[in-house]
Amino acid sequence: MSGEELLNRFTKAFETKIQCKTEFRDETTYTIAASDLREIAKFCREELSFDYLIDLTSIDNFGEEPRFEIVYHLYSMPHGVHLRLKLKVPEETGVVDTVCDIWPTANWHEREAYDMMGIKFNGHPDLRRILMWDGYPYFPLRKDFPLEGLPSEMPDVAFTKVTPMEGGPFVTIPSMAGSKDREPRAHPPQLQE
């Protein structure tokens, strides 16, 4: 079964539930509603043999409603076909169904999405922070959290201080110039006489 056939079967099964379909090069992305997630995910795994969840990430579109997007990258090992599913999650009622029982690898990916963005997953067996420590009061990868961090204190567990930025962050400027001009230097060339 080729990629086209798998996608055709998908489209046939969920005609009404696909909100948007994007194709770029050979990649197909379907935008779905959060309430249809489990049904679609089960179908993908069982019927279409998308047995490998490559990644589960979250995007923060700060300023848009709904605020968060969750992206699932699926891959079918027997057929060698990729698929991407996206769904939007509002900030206030930001709860999504878990897919841990369908793809066990989603366990830690969902914990990371919870830790970094604050998106909760219904039915997750162990939803707690994975990179920051339990009790850390912020969600670091949200757009309104500063790169240098906010001070926090939990004695005997961990602490954070605000990092001195020293004129940074030193980010590459996208352009066609060579690396000398694209990349800002901490010691700009006019000082090196």
Confirm or reject binding of residue 163 to other proteins (CB under 8 A). Answer: yes
Confirm or reject binding of residue 54 to other proteins (CB under 8 A). Answer: no
Cβ at position 133, least distance to other proteins in Å: 5
Residue 100: which region, alpha, beta or left (left: phi > 0; alpha: psi -120 to 50)?
A: alpha
Nearest to 60 by CA among 143, 118, 138: 143
Confirm or reject binding of residue 146 to other proteins (CB under 8 A). Answer: yes
Strand residues in the chain grouped as ranges (E) = 20-24, 27-32, 52-60, 68-76, 81-89, 95-97, 120-122, 152-154, 158-160
Among 1, 77, 165, 177, binds other proteins (CB under 8 A): 165
Q: How many residues bind other proteins (CB under 8 A)?
A: 22
How many angstroms separate the Cα of 101 from the Cα of each of 62, 82, 113, 176?
Answer: 30, 21, 17, 47
Q: Which of residues 68 and 139 has its CB atom nearest to other proteins in the complex? A: 139
Confirm or reject binding of residue 104 to other proteins (CB under 8 A). Answer: no
Among 93, 156, 174, 180, binds other proteins (CB under 8 A): 156
Choose one: 13-21, 43-51, 101-109, 142-150; the region binding other proteins (CB under 8 A).
142-150
Q: Which of residues 165 and 177 has its CB atom nearest to other proteins in the complex? A: 165
User: 155 is written with which tokens?
Assistant: 């004695």
- CA distance linking residue 136 with residue 116, whole number of Å: 11
Residues 169-188, interacting with other proteins (CB under 8 A) = 169
Nearest to 69 by CA among 24, 29, 100: 29
Question: Which residues of the shown chain bind other proteins in the complex (CB under 8 A)?
Answer: 131-133, 140, 145-150, 156-161, 163-166, 168-169
